[in-house]
Amino acid sequence: MTARQVLVHRDAAVLAQAAAARLITALVDAQAARGTAHAVLTGGRNGNALLAALAAHPARDAVDWARVDLWWGDERYLPAGDPERNAVQAAAFLDAVRPLGARVHELPAADGTAPEAAAERYAAELAAAAAPGEQVPVFDVLMLGVGPDAHVASLFPGHPGVREREGAVIAVHDSPKPPPTRLSLTLPALNGARQAWLLAAGADKAEAVALALTDPGADTAPASAVSGTERTLWLVDEAAAGKLA
């Protein structure tokens, strides 16, 4: 695992603005180095705030969005258009970058098929964008929100999905957080990213942040098991950092 850097911001709004600016720089740098960029988006309170800040950022179009692939780390397995889906909540950002050519790879919506089949479809889409023999493309930036129980994506403490080591995408059943059925990238898929950014804001995240940074293991705190191959950043606000030494 790469060494973690913990960056503390004054509050959630400053965190969102700073992370948006950081993401623009990371995508521009990736395009300069490799021609294209792959990023994994996250939903939830902090992920949505970051994407809203990015959509409105004056430097947003410094990125050549026609050379960006946008993926999701997880999704609620609900019908298309359901307001609880991450992709629906991020519509303002996605509607801003799609016309600029961004390739947005949404996780499948519930359409009457088994969630396992939906997971296989997304895994195939990831593999098609990856190097031969690889399951996922090398993500330049992976963004994950940290839950109050230290979960990331839809990988929850003590849940079977956190121990999955074979595939890139899994169906999650009986999630402890509603809705009960979800789709999620696995830890091996997440840990192939060049940069992993873990986002946490608010006092309700303080215990999870402090726990995860003690490295208790994936089964206790899934967030503790995420690492970028080049850089691992914990982007938190003062309230979420409140229980750190």
Q: What letters, b where the CB count within 10 A reaches 16 and e where it falls short, cover 73-92?
A: bbbbbbeeeeeebbbbbbee
Torsion of CA 46, 47, 50, 52, to 10 degrees: -110
**Cis geometry, peptide bond prior to residue 179 (ω within 30 degrees of 0):** yes
The predicted model scores a pTM of: 0.96
Q: Is 14 helix (H, G, I), strand (E, B) or coil?
A: helix
Q: 215 — alpha (psi -120 to 50), left (phi > 0) or beta?
A: left
Quick: pLDDT tens for 38-91: 999 999 999 999 999 999 999 999 999 999 999 999 999 999 999 999 999 999
Round the average pLDDT of the chain to a whole number and report it: 97
- The bridge status of strand 141-145 relative to strand 68-72 is unpaired
pLDDT tens digits, 128-160 = 999 999 999 999 999 999 999 999 999 999 999
What pLDDT, in 10s, does the model give residues 106-124? 999 999 999 999 999 999 9
Domains of the chain: 10-230 (3.40.50.1360)
233 - beta bridge partners? 5, 197
